[in-house]
Amino acid sequence: MLSDIRWKGNMLLELESSQLVLIDYQTRLMGAMHEPEAVTRNAVRLAQMAAALQVPAFYTEQNPSKLGATEPALLAALQSARAKSLAKMQFSAVEEGLGEMLRPPAKPVQGNARSLPKHLQKPAAGSERDTIVLAGCEAHVCLLQTALDLLEDEFDVWVVTDACSSRTERNRDAAFDRLAGAGVELVTTEMVAFEWLRSAEHPAFKTVQGFIK
């Protein structure tokens, strides 16, 4: 129901609260995707931006022994971003532990801090990064199921449409329709870039601009 969709209002992406997750850009899968070159190119740009802006990055590989490793150009960009990987068999990466990677358990409070009220205790590193910038393949299978499970776990999910694909446009577009109805924000690679930057005076502006030109 519409009343179940969390209202986020006129929000922009916040750099400090973002994490990037790229789903299953694998060598034996991408050849069957619609517009694979453009989709992979935008995924590379997202990984490059994450590296330049120090956004935590993650990537998954579905059944890698059958579908192969991540596309080489993207893998290089992810390694520059120090991205963490997750091999999976479930279609939803959340079922394989992605949520715990994105929101690691708080470390035990030590010393005198134990006596502090909860709201004064220092949160674990990364615990406030609840905005997930998500892209991947196939949009109507692994991406969709991962996105809906992340929503269920109370993350804010932003799907980068021009970095997503399926074998057919119909399946891809059906995924976008369903995601939008569930409360996912649909954006593009350039939207992510300029909302993370916010200003032409950002120290990384020229670097990021170079990725998307």
CATH code for the domain of 32? 3.40.50.850
Q: Say what the pTM is.
A: 0.86
Helix (H, G, I), strand (E, B) or coil at 87: strand
63 token code pair? 């059944």
The one-letter code for the residue type at 211 is F
Asked if residue 5 belongs to a domain, the reply is no
Asked if residue 111 belongs to a domain, the reply is no
Asked if residue 148 belongs to a domain, the reply is yes
Give mean pLDDT, residues 127-149. Answer: 95
Helix (H) or strand (E) holding 67: helix 64-67
Cα(149)–Cα(99) distance, rounded to whole angstroms?
Answer: 9
Q: Is residue 171 predicted with pLDDT exceeding 60? A: yes
Cα(145)–Cα(79) distance, rounded to whole angstroms?
Answer: 25
**Contact between residue 146 and residue 23 where contact means Cβ atoms under 8 Å apart:** yes
141 token code pair? 């299978």
Angle formed by the axes of helices 189-197 and 36-53, nearest 10°: 10
Percent of the chain exceeding pLDDT 70 equals: 85
Asked if residue 3 belongs to a domain, the reply is no
183 token code pair? 């409360």
Cα(194)–Cα(109) distance, rounded to whole angstroms?
Answer: 37
Q: Tell me what pLDDT residue 104 has.
A: 83
Structural domain count of the chain:
1
Asked if residue 58 belongs to a domain, the reply is yes
Cα(77)–Cα(116) distance, rounded to whole angstroms?
Answer: 42
Q: From the centroid of its chain, how far is CA 167?
A: 21
Q: Tell me what pLDDT residue 135 has.
A: 98
pLDDT-based confidence at residue 213 (cuts at 50, 70, 90):
confident
Asked if residue 25 belongs to a domain, the reply is yes
Per-residue model confidence as pLDDT tens digits over 90-120: 999 999 999 999 998 776 666 555 555 554 5
Asked if residue 112 belongs to a domain, the reply is no
Asked if residue 114 belongs to a domain, the reply is no
**Contact between residue 162 and residue 188 where contact means Cβ atoms under 8 Å apart:** yes
E strands, the chain, where?
A: 18-23, 57-62, 84-88, 131-136, 156-160, 185-187
**Residue 138 belongs to domain spanning:** 15-101+127-212
Q: What is the DSSP letter of 70?
A: B
